[in-house]
Amino acid sequence: MERKEDIGPERISFATFLLKILAAGVGGVGGSLILFVIILFTGSVFPEPGSDFVSPIFVFILLVMIFLASTISNIMSVWLLGLTEKGKYQRLSSAIYQVFIVSIIILLLMVPVYLISVNSNIAVTGYVVALHIIISAQVSALILEIISNYKYALVGVYGVTFAILVSAAILFGLSGILDNPQLLLFLALPVVWGSIAIVHTLVSMIYGWFARTYDKDFLSTQTVYGKDYGKEVEEVKEEAKAEDESGADFLRHN
């Protein structure tokens, strides 16, 4: 039987909380620096404000730019966040590999969306970029939680989802205030990853306090509900070996 102090996610100190914010911030700013460098060298292909002409190479440059910036930012943020709680995130390398793979998949899925947005209205492309960044960051954060923290993966799902909603609200709010869309592009990655670090950590802390206070670990993946309650995990029966396999085992043992 679990002791009460073992229920819920591990307690997070205030110093670790600050480290997580710093780690996510560094990852987000790193992605923004990649964006800045690419725009600095390819700014001539970007359409002028109010212009209806879009350079054929613009979509390609935009895709590469967002892919590199978001992927590097996601990997940096996942790696640095993993270092803040080494006891919790023990499969960090596997998480980073999966983040890279899913970034490529998201890029391929977003290609037709970019093409449609550019051909219909160049202003809509900014929202497509924000969508790309938000989705890739959300999936990356979920991969980190599910792979490295399976028991409380549901806490990660709730925390990351709330963080994405907060970051989306902030970005849409800033889009109505700022007149410079490029500035909003630079702010997107730090805002999204900063929200993930802050909101997800707060959700984890609040849930941990609630679970230990009321002695109910209802977001643990080991807790069952409804018709699943009382079911026992069936042991997988070992399949009968073929004759050649049985003979091989006999020779190995003798």
Q: Where are the alpha helices (DSSP H) in the chain?
A: 14-42, 56-84, 92-120, 122-148, 153-177, 181-214, 243-253
Chain-centroid distance of CA 215 in Å reads 30
Do 172 and 202 form a contact (C-beta atoms < 8 A)?
no
Single-letter residue type at 9? P
Give the pLDDT confidence of 14-24 residue by residue, as tens digits. 899 999 999 99
Single-letter residue type at 27? G
Residue 225: count other Cβ atoms within 10 Å of its Cβ.
Answer: 7
Residue 118 has pLDDT above 60, yes or no: yes
Give the pLDDT confidence of 94-105 residue by residue, as tens digits. 999 999 999 999
Residue 224 has pLDDT above 80, yes or no: no
* Best CA proximity match to 101, nearest among 69, 61, 130, 143: 143
Residue 228: count other Cβ atoms within 10 Å of its Cβ.
Answer: 8
Q: At what angle do helices 153-177 and 181-214 cross, to 10 degrees?
A: 150
pTM: 0.81
| Reported confidence tier of residue 170, pLDDT bands at 50, 70, 90 | very high
Residue 107 has pLDDT above 80, yes or no: yes
* Best CA proximity match to 157, nearest among 138, 133, 136: 138
The CA distances from residue 42 to 45, 57, 70, in Å, are: 6, 10, 18
Q: What is the mean pLDDT of residues 197-207?
A: 93
> Which of these ranges, 25-29, 193-197, 224-228, has the smallest mean pLDDT?
224-228
Residue 38: count other Cβ atoms within 10 Å of its Cβ.
Answer: 17
What pLDDT, on the 0 to 100 scale, is given for residue 57? 75
Do 142 and 77 form a contact (C-beta atoms < 8 A)?
no
Q: What is the mean pLDDT of residues 137-156?
A: 89
Give the pLDDT confidence of 37-76 residue by residue, as tens digits. 888 877 655 655 555 556 667 778 888 889 999 999 999 9
Do 189 and 170 form a contact (C-beta atoms < 8 A)?
no
Give me 138's structure tokens.
Answer: 């959300």
Residue 114 has pLDDT above 50, yes or no: yes
Percent with pLDDT over 90 in the chain:
40
